[in-house]
Chain A
Amino acid sequence: MNKRKALQQQNNHYEKQLPKETRQILTDIVVYLKSFPISEYQVELVRLDITRMLLEGAARGASASEVLGEDYKEFCKGIVAELPPRTPLQTIAYHADILFLGLAILMPLWMVTGLLDSVQNGGSLIHVPVSSGTISATLIILVVSYAIVQYICKTSLEDESEQARRKNRFRFILILFFAVLVCMAPAILFRNTVLNVHIAVYIAGFVICFCVHKLLAAYTD
């Protein structure tokens, strides 16, 4: 287990000891910190410090805002200013990791749908047909999912009432539903095969994407 994962497990353990409301605030803070170009390991180090402050605060009967101050966003910005930002190489590796992870998730899905299509059209199971639709859908899904994650991180500390939160959650699910439709539409509408990939080559491609993702994730940790 690498340093970051060990620290993450330790943090998860301590976080469970926090009162529910404080735990939610800590989650929002950590999600917001993840919207900045700092490594996951740095986020976990800071999370440990904040968890310690909140646990000791809770033991004294102090709320999260009494311990950290009223403005959580300012608190996070103050922290981020003191942490080492990702280097340009780490930034490239971080984005490449997202790309390869996305491909590693989508490739098995496209393989199953492609092979089902092939069988329906009397084709073989030796070649995986790749359509222009699946290529377009892959690109759209990667962009949309990246945008959604960024949106969640950036807005995690928006000051909202419980009612507004619920309304926004409903709106978000609706947007997500339409986003899925937009993402999948090309794969359904444009089914013309642009290339047939041998199943062994396809699986090798998937394994390579997965391994590259693992290597990049370890590098950016």
Chain B
Amino acid sequence: MISTQMLKGTLEGCILGIIRKRETYGYEISEALGQYGFGKITEGTIYPILLRLEKNGMIRATYRQSDVGPKRKYYSLTEDGETEFQSFLTSYRELSAAVAALLADVKGGNDDE
């Protein structure tokens, strides 16, 4: 299971990535995260992130009829959201490469012992 602290820094970018693929809504996003291997992430966890992304103009919401209850909120990426996602990709690749290099070195060190 991925630790909450590790998730915190990456969840926002990952949610942008899911919305970038196609217009989607809260529950579908939490299900998609689960299928990608993030573990159980409830709608309650991602709702404040969606509020933040919408407030900062990264995503926009459209209301569509739902089978039950009020109209469902579908999210799509804005231009600012696309820029933010690209920035996340660059940062994440740098981080991923740095961690991979460190782990390879540490693993190499372990092999030497």
Contacts and interface: CB of A to CB of B under 8 A. Distances in A.
A82 B52 contact: yes
For chain A, which range describes its interface: under 10, 10 to 19, 20 to 34, or 35 or more residues? Answer: 20 to 34
Nearest to A64: B44
B68 interface: yes
Contact of A56 (B45, B51, B52, B66): B66
Select the residue from B52, B68, B69, B70 with max chain A CB neighbours within 10 A. Answer: B69
Interface in A48-72: 48-53, 55-59, 66-69
Interface in B46-76: 47-48, 51-52, 55, 66-73
Given A67-B42, A68-B43, A52 B70 contact: yes
Contact of A79 (B43, B47, B68): B47
B81 interface: no
Contacts of A112: none
B13 interface: no
B92 interface: no
A77 to B, nearest CB: 9
For chain B, which range describes its interface: under 10, 10 to 19, 20 to 34, or 35 or more residues? Answer: 10 to 19
Interface string B14-50: 0000000000001100000000000000111101100
B69 A14 contact: yes
A12 interface: no
A52 B72 contact: yes
Contact of B48 (A17, A53, A81): A81
A88 interface: no
A13 to B, nearest CB: 9
Interface of B: 26-27, 42-45, 47-48, 51-52, 55, 66-73
